[in-house]
Amino acid sequence: MGKSKKEALRRTVLEAAAKLFAQRGFGGTNLQDIADSLGISRPALYYYFKSKDDILASLVEEVTVFSVHQATELASKADFNPSETLRQMVFNHAKWLLEHPIEFRVVDRTENDLPAATRRTHDKAKRALLDNFTRIVERGIELGHFRPVDATVAAFSIIGMCSWTAWWFMPHGRVPLDEVAKSIADFAVAGLRWGNNVLPREFGAEEALRRVKDDLAHLERLIRRSDKRR
């Protein structure tokens, strides 16, 4: 069997197992159930995974490790802009979760049943995700892009917005997946940037001029409108 074909079949087994874990709980599912749901024999299943713990370990690997890699990569880019980097990080994380809600739910709900080694991988990856988000928020505050919030609380708030999608998003609902991810990313960035009422510490002359022009144009419209009413 070619490597890519084996990988595709392994993915299929993983998804079927995740679905059963989500429906019946990890404790309520055995390897026979998984084999049955795929219409294959138990020996055929053994070819991909040796045990339930082995399957769970793979799910943890998928769910927690992927997002972290992406985030670390983005945060270390040379042309660094806190808002745009954060927007991209949140978008990627949300999109990944939106595409893998069942896997995420299973890992999240079986945290306490994870074998010790898998639990360590899981905890480490979760910690790294939190650290990545915290660092980018801190960096944005230092550079005057973001409000001086508690960076850890902000990072947890962002992670919460993303994680919660696994319990409410409908794949074929009214709002497409990419739009939900974009909406959450925009929310996160807007929630941290300075609002209308405060001037950021670092605020270039060009941006100030652009704002003055915008405001004057708006004032002009307001005057014209009130002239018409007279």
170 part of the interface to its own copies, by CB under 8 A:
no
144 part of the interface to its own copies, by CB under 8 A:
no
3-state secondary structure of 193: strand
Complex with its own copies: residue 142 or 214, whichever CB lies closer: 214
Q: How far apart are CA 104 and CA 60, in angstroms?
A: 8
Binding region for its own copies (CB under 8 A) out of 6-14, 29-37, 68-76, 183-191:
183-191
Query: Taking CB under 8 A as the criterion, which residues in 103-122 touch its own copies?
Result: 109
Query: Taking CB under 8 A as the criterion, which residues in 6-65 touch its own copies?
Result: none
Complex with its own copies: residue 7 or 202, whichever CB lies closer: 202
Q: How far apart are CA 64 and CA 193, in angstroms?
A: 28
CB of 22 to its own copies, least distance (A): 10
What is each CA distance from 204 to 81, 92, 180, 208, 212, in whole angstroms? 14, 29, 32, 6, 13
Number of residues that bind its own copies (CB under 8 A): 50
Binding region for its own copies (CB under 8 A) out of 9-17, 30-38, 58-66, 147-155:
147-155
* Cβ count within 10 A of residue 163: 16
* CA of residue 11 relative to chain centroid, distance: 21
Q: Is 173 exposed, middle or buried (0-12, 13-18, 19+ CB in 10 A)?
A: exposed
Which residue of 8, 44, 117, 212 would you call a contact of its own copies, by CB under 8 A? 212
**Tokens 């650290």 found at:** 131
CB of 170 to its own copies, least distance (A): 11
CB of 4 to its own copies, least distance (A): 36
Complex with its own copies: residue 35 or 87, whichever CB lies closer: 87
Q: How far apart are CA 1 and CA 142, in angstroms?
A: 53
Q: How far apart are CA 89 and CA 86, in angstroms?
A: 5
Complex with its own copies: residue 47 or 194, whichever CB lies closer: 194
Complex with its own copies: residue 76 or 112, whichever CB lies closer: 112
Q: What are phi and psi of 198, to 5 degrees?
A: -130, 145
Q: Under a CB-based contact definition with an 8 Å cutoff, are residues 59 and 106 in contact?
A: yes
Residues near its own copies (CB under 8 A): 109, 147, 149-150, 152-154, 156-157, 159-165, 168, 174-175, 179-180, 183-184, 186-188, 190-196, 199-200, 203-205, 207-209, 211-212, 214-216, 218-219, 222-223
